Chains A and B, each alone.
Chain A
């Protein structure tokens, strides 16, 4: 019969109780809302931010995808392109070739890298700019060309002058001041000459046998267009149709941007999840303290025949309603966050404010709110079963310590699995990665709960001995004794506070480490000016000129380059290796370099770098090692200038550097190549405004040295990295602030049990100052212990996350540890005080009457 206790009655009681505890529940709703708000807000914003970064990445290749090859496509390949066009994919062709250009003023021909584009279509992303300004689509007629700054200087021409190329005359339109895909071409070793395809057709440069590179750029139809092919689909079709071509898409244009994107997305998901969990901890502590106050009502209902299940029903309705209200409010808050972030950071970069309120993310926010709230409140809700109705007769009656049974273990397991699943769901991405993240989360929380519980137990035990020390002032002894007196929630508060500190400090540590790593992989000193073709005899003097430059971010780099061809891998002829498509580039002569020390922005991923004066050793780039299946210890044979060279693979490295001339695929130990004819390449980072002056100086002294200015491209990369860093900082600050507010409230939640104590102390003659000291002692011990445990756990957890998901390394840092211990102690104290201030001011009789 009792099972018929109607949901309506349960809902009525739940609603009445909520109304009576409006302020407290208002806070619970806020705690959930903050969590859900950061989840939906951060996700929505990071989607917009992601889109912006991808747009920048597209700008660096002026397209969504490109296919690069050294011959014209055949009929079958053209048919594939036509098919793509029918599906809404736009295409444009670029031809790049090396040729000689002369001007009537200098007569000396200069080798240039000519790039022929279709001005009506190119570029799909970004813009080409000229100085003086001109519109590419209309100004770049077949009779005109654009020249890079250094080429104009070398040819000594001004806009309007004429130059000669491939037997034809062209008028100079102006200087090409901005070219989005400057770094994406393959024949960039000469200064740039930009012309239209029709202009190139006027010459006979593209006859059979000429060395011209073809680059096809593709732009996909807007996402969501029906029947539109996706980037991966198009990429696969192109790879299949053009086996000899290098097909890349915008996601892999620049390794720094790609990694930054992946990491920031992962990090933002992590933060959202943590914000929600910290919010849920707030809810759990609030519900626990609410139920503590409702003990009498619950016991009475049990006396009147209520089953535990019926009472649990009341509080489940209440909890779910709170979760739902928090979820809805959170979704609104998320909208505000989405709108506010772009506004806050608009000074630095343009992300259009947008509401990305799609049903799925809204539903995810709400479901997550309900599940997280329910999971975290499960322990206090299930504890309702343990409330004895006899409480109503004898409050002090006790059976000693409550026995933990198998039900508690099952509940704990269910909560952990639930949290893990939630984490996996929010993290998204590949199922295995998501599950792994979920596992780490659940494991992290389990370890945290067990160690926090153990420390709390130990602390409370030890307090019993501490208070026996008569030397302590009595108010301190009273404060410490409060921690273990019956009915005190010290253990629960310590666990909640510790868990909250752990997550909050984790956000800080992961964020800090990520920013440091990003700064290291995109240092402000990355070269933005490259010098090509420096002869050995010119090397020292060029170096001296570079050293005299002011405002350099770091010492200019001048690296040697030697043309070598690989002949054998581990004794096997390279022609016998199974190399297909673009991998066949390893069969050709390649420019390699040597270096005594490991070059900057280079990470050894296997093996070890050599000591000085080592001979016959080589370090291989990650890509080359993968394609050629090389590991440290392998032997390679090369031929160069009629000599044979043998080298043993000492290391495999990854390079984030942007270099010209010599690729980073093979770096030899110094003595290996020293007898071969070398040419030197330089790189330096200087303010973009000072580049033209350096170009002039070098050209006057060394007319054969080419200066390539990629300051604008480097600025784009640096901007993107700065933007990622900025967003990571903003979002972390938001999540940390939310965490602090919620943690403060878990301490504040204990104030209800203090009312009676304060009253009795006051009645017995205690002054407010004395009561303050008693509570301060209690709060400080709680805060400092939770801070210490939480930050120690955060060190472990953040290192785990960094190593597993961000390829970081183990670090231990005292400063954040000490800071968070002190801050948590102060926070706990301040929160306790703010919450208890009103109680302290109350007259004892007001409370005693209400009893």
Chain B
């Protein structure tokens, strides 16, 4: 296995110029994440968690510093190349699911394959993933016809369809009740284990962070704790 880190962040800063004043959201962040690690990023509201996640995914451009994704510098990379890189290397799970409302469950899962120009061969994998998340009978349903838990499970299938080396999850259970939240988390962990993905989870839920190999805590735009656990406080077994 490649021993180089899948993600490396050095001197990362992000400021927003609102026109009248400049707000520093991230004030200099450094860390490396090895392959296959499950990292939870924690912090209070406004600490800079989501901004950091956006920067790691190349959804946003840093004001300073560097971000290496699988050895490739993405800070300052051109927008369309970033999009391609995301398609190949990064899967996403959002708090509010973010399915395309006009596509069916199956079509939503197929979308990343089609965007990468590989739509034809992926139908089987999409269907298998939807079976894995328990939605084999919901392939032709539109998002509006699915419950919140079901929508998030479709989003999970979509995130894994290209077998990305990195999966970024932003409060994936934040909009779900505890039963559905638990179910989605179970699926996320099992898929992560099966696919050997590096999982980076943004949450303010301590119990959720308890499953992680490592917990990075942010406060006021800085890393205030970086806790590596030999054994996660909570172990996942199913």
Identify the A interface with B (CB < 8 A): 1-6, 9, 12-13, 16-17, 19-20, 296-297, 300-310, 385, 388-390, 392-394, 397-401
Extra contacts besides A297-B102, A304-B86, A305-B85 (5): CB < 8 Å:
A2-B87, A5-B114, A297-B100, A304-B158, A308-B79
Instruction: Give min CB distance, B198 to chain A, whole Å.
Output: 17
* Contact A304 B170, beta carbon cutoff 8 Å: no
Instruction: Give min CB distance, A491 to chain B, whole Å.
Output: 16
Contact of A388 among B59, B85, B99 (CB under 8 A): B59
Contact of B117 among A1, A12, A400 (CB under 8 A): A1
Contact of B84 among A2, A13, A16, A20 (CB under 8 A): A2
A9–B111 alpha-carbon span in the complex (Å): 9
* Contact B59 A2, beta carbon cutoff 8 Å: no
Any A CB within 8 A of the CB of B60: yes
Q: A1-B117, A5-B115, A301-B115 are in contact. Are A296 and B87 (CB under 8 A)?
A: no
Any A CB within 8 A of the CB of B33: no
* Contact A300 B98, beta carbon cutoff 8 Å: yes
* Contact B117 A5, beta carbon cutoff 8 Å: yes
Any A CB within 8 A of the CB of B37: no
* 9 CB-based A-B contacts, threshold 8 Å: A2-B115, A5-B115, A303-B86, A303-B92, A305-B88, A307-B83, A308-B83, A389-B57, A399-B17
Q: A19-B102, A389-B59 are in contact. Are A308 and B80 (CB under 8 A)?
A: yes
* Contact A301 B60, beta carbon cutoff 8 Å: no
Contact of B115 among A310, A388, A394, A399 (CB under 8 A): A310
Instruction: Give min CB distance, B113 to chain A, whole Å.
Output: 10
Residues of chain A contacted by B87 (CB below 8 angstroms): 2, 304-306
- Looking at B18, B60, B86, B114, which has the most chain A CB atoms within 10 Å of its CB? B114
Q: A13-B100, A297-B100 are in contact. Are A398 and B115 (CB under 8 A)?
A: no
A447–B112 alpha-carbon span in the complex (Å): 44
Instruction: Give min CB distance, B114 to chain A, whole Å.
Output: 5
Residues of chain A contacted by B191 (CB below 8 angstroms): none
Residues of chain A contacted by B117 (CB below 8 angstroms): 1-6
* Contact A20 B101, beta carbon cutoff 8 Å: yes
Instruction: Give min CB distance, A276 to chain B, whole Å.
Output: 30
Instruction: Give min CB distance, B12 to chain A, whole Å.
Output: 15
Residues of chain A contacted by B118 (CB below 8 angstroms): 1, 4
**0/1 per residue, B90-117, Cβ < 8 Å to A?**
0010100011111100010001101111
Identify the B interface with A (CB < 8 A): 16-19, 50-51, 53-54, 57, 59-60, 79-80, 83-88, 92, 94, 98-103, 107, 111-112, 114-119, 158, 162, 170
Contact of A9 among B17, B57, B114, B170 (CB under 8 A): B114
* Contact B60 A388, beta carbon cutoff 8 Å: yes
A394–B92 alpha-carbon span in the complex (Å): 15
- Looking at B80, B84, B88, B112, which has the most chain A CB atoms within 10 Å of its CB? B80
A390–B53 alpha-carbon span in the complex (Å): 9
Q: A13-B102, A393-B59 are in contact. Are A304 and B50 (CB under 8 A)?
A: no
- Looking at A12, A20, A297, A392, which has the most chain B CB atoms within 10 Å of its CB? A392
Residues of chain B contacted by A19 (CB below 8 angstroms): 102
Instruction: Give min CB distance, B65 to chain A, whole Å.
Output: 16
* Contact B17 A303, beta carbon cutoff 8 Å: no
Q: A5-B114, A5-B115, A385-B79 are in contact. Are A305 and B100 (CB under 8 A)?
A: no
Contact of A306 among B17, B115, B158 (CB under 8 A): B115
* Contact B84 A305, beta carbon cutoff 8 Å: yes
* Contact A392 B84, beta carbon cutoff 8 Å: no
* Contact B60 A13, beta carbon cutoff 8 Å: no
Q: A1-B117, A304-B115 are in contact. Are A392 and B102 (CB under 8 A)?
A: no
Q: A2-B87, A304-B86 are in contact. Are A398 and B18 (CB under 8 A)?
A: yes
* Contact A17 B102, beta carbon cutoff 8 Å: yes
Residues of chain B contacted by A6 (CB below 8 angstroms): 114, 117, 119
Nearest 10 interchain pairs by C-beta: A305-B87, A4-B117, A16-B102, A390-B59, A390-B60, A390-B54, A389-B59, A307-B80, A1-B117, A300-B98
Instruction: Give min CB distance, B83 to chain A, whole Å.
Output: 5
Q: A2-B117, A16-B103, A297-B101 are in contact. Are A303 and B80 (CB under 8 A)?
A: no
A665–B33 alpha-carbon span in the complex (Å): 98
The chain A residue sitting closest to B89, CB to CB, is: A305
A389–B59 alpha-carbon span in the complex (Å): 5
Residues of chain A contacted by B112 (CB below 8 angstroms): 304-305
* Contact A304 B111, beta carbon cutoff 8 Å: yes
The chain B residue sitting closest to A16, CB to CB, is: B102
Instruction: Give min CB distance, A239 to chain B, whole Å.
Output: 66
Q: A20-B102, A399-B17 are in contact. Are A393 and B170 (CB under 8 A)?
A: yes
Q: A1-B117, A394-B50 are in contact. Are A296 and B83 (CB under 8 A)?
A: no
The chain B residue sitting closest to A5, CB to CB, is: B115
* Contact A393 B114, beta carbon cutoff 8 Å: no
A358–B98 alpha-carbon span in the complex (Å): 49
A309–B83 alpha-carbon span in the complex (Å): 11
* Contact B92 A304, beta carbon cutoff 8 Å: yes
Instruction: Give min CB distance, A8 to chain B, whole Å.
Output: 9
Residues of chain A contacted by B51 (CB below 8 angstroms): 393-394, 397
* Contact B16 A301, beta carbon cutoff 8 Å: no
- Looking at A2, A296, A397, A400, which has the most chain B CB atoms within 10 Å of its CB? A2
Residues of chain A contacted by B111 (CB below 8 angstroms): 301, 304
* Contact A305 B115, beta carbon cutoff 8 Å: yes
Contact of A399 among B16, B59, B86, B162 (CB under 8 A): B16
* Contact A2 B79, beta carbon cutoff 8 Å: no
A308–B119 alpha-carbon span in the complex (Å): 18
* Contact A397 B102, beta carbon cutoff 8 Å: no
Residues of chain A contacted by B92 (CB below 8 angstroms): 303-304
Contact of A296 among B50, B88, B98, B107 (CB under 8 A): B98
A302–B115 alpha-carbon span in the complex (Å): 10
* Contact B170 A305, beta carbon cutoff 8 Å: no
A390–B116 alpha-carbon span in the complex (Å): 20
Residues of chain A contacted by B57 (CB below 8 angstroms): 303, 389
* Contact B119 A9, beta carbon cutoff 8 Å: yes
The chain B residue sitting closest to A396, CB to CB, is: B16
Instruction: Give min CB distance, A11 to chain B, whole Å.
Output: 12
The chain B residue sitting closest to A300, CB to CB, is: B98
Residues of chain B contacted by A308 (CB below 8 angstroms): 79-80, 83
Instruction: Give min CB distance, B96 to chain A, whole Å.
Output: 9
Instruction: Give min CB distance, A318 to chain B, whole Å.
Output: 11
Residues of chain B contacted by A306 (CB below 8 angstroms): 83, 87, 115
Residues of chain A contacted by B80 (CB below 8 angstroms): 2, 307-309
A463–B34 alpha-carbon span in the complex (Å): 53
The chain A residue sitting closest to B58, CB to CB, is: A389
Residues of chain B contacted by A16 (CB below 8 angstroms): 102-103
Instruction: Give min CB distance, B175 to chain A, whole Å.
Output: 11
Instruction: Give min CB distance, A392 to chain B, whole Å.
Output: 6
Residues of chain A contacted by B60 (CB below 8 angstroms): 388-390, 397
Instruction: Give min CB distance, A14 to chain B, whole Å.
Output: 9
A57–B201 alpha-carbon span in the complex (Å): 84
Residues of chain B contacted by A401 (CB below 8 angstroms): 19
Instruction: Give min CB distance, A833 to chain B, whole Å.
Output: 29
Residues of chain B contacted by A9 (CB below 8 angstroms): 114, 119
A710–B219 alpha-carbon span in the complex (Å): 99
A399–B112 alpha-carbon span in the complex (Å): 28
A777–B18 alpha-carbon span in the complex (Å): 27
A5–B119 alpha-carbon span in the complex (Å): 8
* Contact A393 B19, beta carbon cutoff 8 Å: no
Instruction: Give min CB distance, A307 to chain B, whole Å.
Output: 4
Residues of chain B contacted by A304 (CB below 8 angstroms): 86-87, 92, 111-112, 115, 158
A711–B92 alpha-carbon span in the complex (Å): 86
A308–B60 alpha-carbon span in the complex (Å): 15
* Contact A307 B84, beta carbon cutoff 8 Å: yes
* Contact A13 B98, beta carbon cutoff 8 Å: no
A672–B164 alpha-carbon span in the complex (Å): 103
- Looking at A12, A302, A393, which has the most chain B CB atoms within 10 Å of its CB? A393
Residues of chain A contacted by B17 (CB below 8 angstroms): 399-400
A301–B16 alpha-carbon span in the complex (Å): 24
* Contact B16 A398, beta carbon cutoff 8 Å: yes
